[in-house]
Amino acid sequence: MVSQIISAVGVMVVGVFVCALYYWLSDKILQVIFPTPSGDIQRASRNLNRRAVVRPWLFLGPALLLLGVYLVYPVIATFILSFYDRTGSVFVGLSNYRWALQDAGFRQSIFNNFLWLLVVPAACTFLGLVIAVLTDRIWWGSIAKSLVFMPMAISFVGASVIWKFIYEYRGAGETQIGLLNAIVTFFGGDPEVWIAMPFWNNFFLMVILIWIQTGFAMVILSAALRGIPEETIEAAVIDGANGWQIFWKIMVPQIWGTIAVVWTTITILVLKVFDIVLTMTNGQWDTMVLANLMFDWMFRGGGDSGRSAVIALVIMAAVTPIMIWNIRQANRETGGH
C-alpha cells in the first residue's frame, strides 16, 4: 500500500516536472528560432507575431499527439476490427452486425440502457434542481449541500459496495443485515433478493448512480440559480406570482441551458455505465448493459474481438451526438469563448 502511494506521488511529481520542462524548453527554442533583436524593430515585431502563431500549437502538440494515439487510432482500429472474426484475423464482413441485430442479449442490453437513459438523467437533474432551490432558503443549506455532494467523492465500485449492504438478503427467520430488508421485515414483510428481481432490479441499480450524481447536478444548478437577476424575481413578486409560478415561469426558463447541459452530461455517463452493474450483479438477472456486454465478449469465454468491437461502436455512436451537442451548448452559454 505504501509503495503504491509512493509510486503514485512520484508519477505525479515527475509528470508535472516534465510538463513544465517541456513548456520552458519550447519557449526557449522559439526565442532562438525567432529572435527579437533590439536594433531591428520590424524584424522583432514580425518574429513576435510568428511566436504567437507557433506557440499554441507547440504547447498543444503533446495533447494532440496523445489524443491521436489514444482516441483517433483506437476508433479506426475498432471499426476495422468489427469486420473480422473473434480472433481478428478472418474477414467476415457484416456478420458481426447481423449477430447484433439478432442476438437476444444485445437487445436486452439496449433495452436496459434505454431504461437507464429514461430514469437516471431525469431523476438526477430534478432532484439536483429541487435540492439547489431548497438549500438556498435554509440557514444550514451549505451543510446540506455538502452532505448531498459527498457521494461524488466515492468511486462507483465503492458506492456499489455500500448499496450492496443496503440490498443484502438473508433467509427468512435470519437477522437481516441489509437495511432495506430490515425495514421490510420490521413491518411484517418478507425479505427479498432485490437485485435478483428481473426488470425491477435495474431500478435498484439506478438508485446508486442517482445517489452519486445528484450532488453534481445540485452544484451546477445552484450556481446557475445564483446567477438569476434578482430584479426578475422581484418583478414577479410585485405582479402577484406565487412561489410555484416564480420557480417554473421565471427561474427555470432562465437556467434552461444549464439544465440541458447537466442532463446531457449525465446522459453520456449513463451510456457508459459499467462499474455499478459489474459490482452489483455482473450482468445477471437481466441487468446487462452495453458496456458490460462489450466487456464480456472481449475478455470472457475466449473473447470475441469482432463482436465486442460492434458493441463499442454502438456505444460511441450513441454518445458522440450528445457530446457534440453538449459542447456546442456550453460554447453558446459562454458566448463562444
289 CB neighbour count, 10 Å cutoff: 28
Phi, psi of 87 (to 5 degrees): -90, -15
pLDDT in tens, 197-217: 888 889 999 999 999 999 888
Establish if 89 belongs to a structural domain: no
Establish if 87 belongs to a structural domain: no
What does the alpha-carbon distance between residue 216 and residue 57 come to, in Å, rounded to a whole number? Answer: 33
What does the alpha-carbon distance between residue 155 and residue 151 come to, in Å, rounded to a whole number? Answer: 8
276, 212 Cβ separation under 8 angstroms: no
What does the alpha-carbon distance between residue 60 and residue 227 come to, in Å, rounded to a whole number? Answer: 33
Q: Are residues 218 and 305 in the same domain?
A: yes
What does the alpha-carbon distance between residue 241 and residue 66 come to, in Å, rounded to a whole number? Answer: 54
Please give the mean pLDDT across all residues of the chain.
83
- Per-residue pLDDT band at 1 (split at 50, 70, 90): low
Number of domains the chain is built from: 2
- List CB contacts of 323: < 8 A, sequence separation 6 or more: 268
Establish if 88 belongs to a structural domain: no
Q: Are residues 166 and 60 in the same domain?
A: no
Q: Are residues 144 and 226 in the same domain?
A: yes
Query: Which DSSP letter does residue 113 get?
Result: H
The three grid cell numbers given for residue 165, joined into one nine-digit string? 449492504
What does the alpha-carbon distance between residue 195 and residue 280 come to, in Å, rounded to a whole number? Answer: 8
Asked whether the predicted pLDDT for residue 141 surpasses 60, the reply is yes
The domain of 125 spans: 95-333
Establish if 125 belongs to a structural domain: yes
Q: Grid cell 515527475 — which residue?
A: 14
Q: Which of 81, 108, 132 is the last residue of a domain?
A: 81
SS3 190: coil
Q: Are residues 186 and 233 in the same domain?
A: yes
Establish if 29 belongs to a structural domain: yes
48, 36 Cβ separation under 8 angstroms: yes
Highest mean pLDDT among 92-106, 176-190, 292-306: 92-106
120 CB neighbour count, 10 Å cutoff: 23
The pLDDT of residue 333 is 64
Distances (CA, A) of 208 to 15, 123, 163, 176: 34, 12, 7, 21
Q: Are residues 205 and 300 in the same domain?
A: yes
pLDDT in tens, 229-266: 878 877 878 777 777 777 788 888 888 888 888 888 88
SS3 198: coil
pLDDT in tens, 146-173: 888 888 888 888 888 888 888 888 777 7
Q: Are residues 208 and 59 in the same domain?
A: no
- Name the residue among 249, 248, 262, 256 with its Cα closest to residue 227: 256
The mean-pLDDT minimum among 38-52, 87-101, 192-206, 300-314 falls in 38-52
Q: Are residues 56 and 122 in the same domain?
A: no
Asked whether the predicted pLDDT for residue 69 surpasses 70, the reply is yes
Q: Are residues 103 and 249 in the same domain?
A: yes
CATH code of the domain covering residue 253: 1.10.3720.10
221, 129 Cβ separation under 8 angstroms: yes
pLDDT in tens, 313-324: 988 888 888 878
pLDDT in tens, 260-315: 888 888 888 888 888 888 888 888 888 888 888 888 888 876 678 888 889 889 88
Q: Are residues 273 and 136 in the same domain?
A: yes
SS3 breakdown of the chain: % helix, strand, coil, rounded to 5? 75, 0, 25
**Percentage of the residues of the chain whose pLDDT score is greater than 70:** 97
Establish if 62 belongs to a structural domain: yes
The pLDDT of residue 44 is 75
